Amino acid sequence: MNNTLAFNELQVEIARLTSENSQLKNRVSELEILNNCYLEQLRLAQVRRFGTSSEKNLISGQLSLEFLDEAEAFANLKNIESDLPSEPDFEEITYKRRKTSGKRDEFYSGLPTEQIIHELSEENRLCPECGEMRHACGHDTVRREVVIIPAQIKAVEHVQTVYSCRNCEKNFDSVPLAKADVPAPVIKNSGVASPSLLAYILSNKYGLALPLYRQEQEFKRLGLDISRQTMANWVVFTAMVWLKNIYDILKIELVKNDILHADESTVQVLREEGRAATQKSFEWMYHTGQEAEKPIALFEYKPTREGQNAIDFLNGFNGYLHCDGYIGYKKLEEHGVINVESWRRAGK
C-alpha cells in the first residue's frame, strides 16, 4: 500500500516537473526572441548613425528598414489623393461650380498630348427610335492621364555613301571616288558608345546617384550587355577628354570671385598606383559664395592634405576664403588671400 502511494506521488512530481520544465523552455525562447529584437534595434541604430548611406545598407542580405518604408515616410497619408491633378472636379462654396483648370493645365502644359477617341460600335450606333445610324455630334474629355514610356534602346548604323562618275567609268581607266562625311565617334574605336548613351550613364551616376553596377543590371533587363568596367572607362575618358576643358573654364571664373569657400574631406581610393588601399587621400572642394552671380563648385582629388594643393588650385585668387582652422590654408595669406575661419573670427 505504501509502495503504491509513493509511486503515485512520484508520478505526480514527475508530471509537475515536466510541466515546469516546458514552461521554462517557453520562457527561454521568448527571452531569446526579445534579445534578438533588441540586438536588431541596436544594429539598425548603429547603421543609421555610422553607415555610409542608407541606400547601401545591405546587412545580412536584407535591405535596411529605412529603405523599405521610404514610401510611407515621404507620402502625405492625410491627403494622399490630393496630388496633381487635384480631385474632385468640383469644390464646395455656396453652390457647386466647375473648378478652374489653371493649375491642372499648368501641370500638363509641358507634356505632348495624344488623344484616344472612344467610339460606339456600328451596332450600338443604331437609333432605337427610327433605326437610322447616329452620327458623332460632340466629344467630351473624360480625363487626362500621364503615361510613361520606358527607355528604348536601338542600334544606329552610320552608312557612308560612296559616289562615282558614270562617264569616267565608261571612258577612262581610273574613276575618282568621293565619300560622304561621317561624324567621328564620341570615343575613338568604340563601336557602341554614342553621345546619348554617355549622357544617359553620366546623368544616372552623378545626377541620380545610380552606381554603375546598378546601371549594368538595368541595361541587362533592357537586353544590352555593358559591363560596369566598360562604363567606368567611358566615364573617365569623358571626364578627361570632353569635360576637362569645361572644368578649366569654370576654374578661371571661380578665382575671379571675391569670396570663396574651401574644405577637404578624406576619401579611400582602391588600386591606386604606388599607394595602399588603406591610405587616406583627400577630395578638395572649392565653391563660390551664396551671392555669386555665377555659382560654381569644383572638386579636385589629391593624395595628400598639403597646403600647397590649395595654393596651386587658387592661383590668381586674392579675396576672402571661408575655411576651417587647418594650418594648410594659412599659407594662402602669403599669396594675398584673406582667411575667414568659420566661427573663430566671427567673435564665437
**pLDDT grade, residue 129 (50/70/90)?**
confident
Q: Are strands 162-163 and 178-179 parallel, antiparallel or unpaired?
A: antiparallel
Model confidence pLDDT, tens digit, residues 24-40? 887 887 787 777 777 77
Q: Is the link from the previous residue into 211 a cis peptide, with omega within 30 of 0?
A: no
Work out the average pLDDT over 53-82: 47
Which pLDDT does position 44 carry in this prediction? 74
Closest C-alpha among 253, 262, 252, 265 to residue 320:
262
Which pLDDT does position 55 carry in this prediction? 44
Checking if the pLDDT of 64 tops 70, the result is no
The count of C-alpha atoms lying within 13 angstroms of the C-alpha of 191, restricted to the half-sphere facing its C-beta, is 1
Residue % of the chain over a pLDDT of 70: 80
List own/partner pairs for 327-335 with CB under 8 A and 24 or more apart: 329/262, 331/307, 332/307, 335/311
SS3 sequence of the chain: CHHHHHHHHHHHHHHHHHHHHHHHHHHHHHHHHHHHHHHHHHHHHHHHHHCCCHHHCEECCEECHHHHCHHHHHCCHHHCCCCCCCCCCEEECCCEEECCCHHHHHHHCCCCCCCCCCCCCCCCCECCCCCCECCCCCCCCCCCCCCCCCCCCCCCCCCCCEECCHHHHHHCCCCCCEECCCCCCCCCCCCCCCHHHHHHHHHHHHHCCCCHHHHHHHHHHCCCCCCHHHHHHHHHHHHHHHHHHHHHHHHHHHCCCCEEEEEEEEEECCCCCCCCCCCEEEEEEEEECCCCCCCCEEEEEECCCCCHHHHHHCCCCCCEEEECCCHHHHHHHHHCCEEEECCCCCCC
Residue % of the chain over a pLDDT of 90: 36
Instruction: Please tell me the least confidently modeled range out of 124-133, 191-200, 235-244, 337-346.
Output: 337-346
**pLDDT grade, residue 68 (50/70/90)?**
very low
Which pLDDT does position 178 carry in this prediction? 92
The count of C-alpha atoms lying within 13 angstroms of the C-alpha of 208, restricted to the half-sphere facing its C-beta, is 11
Of 327 and 85, more confident = 327
Model confidence pLDDT, tens digit, residues 180-229? 999 989 888 888 899 999 999 999 999 999 999 999 999 999 888 999 99
Of 101 and 296, more confident = 296
Which pLDDT does position 97 carry in this prediction? 56
What are the residue ranges spanned by the domains of the chain? 192-254, 258-341
pTM: 0.60
Work out the average pLDDT over 256-281: 88
Place of cell 554617355: 198
Most confident of 16-20, 211-215, 222-226, 332-336: 211-215
Its sign, for the CA torsion 19, 25, 28, 34, is negative
Checking if the pLDDT of 318 tops 50, the result is yes
Which pLDDT does position 246 carry in this prediction? 94
Work out the average pLDDT over 86-112: 63
Q: How much is the mean pLDDT over the chain? A: 81
Cβ neighbors of 290 (< 8 A, separation 6 or more) are none
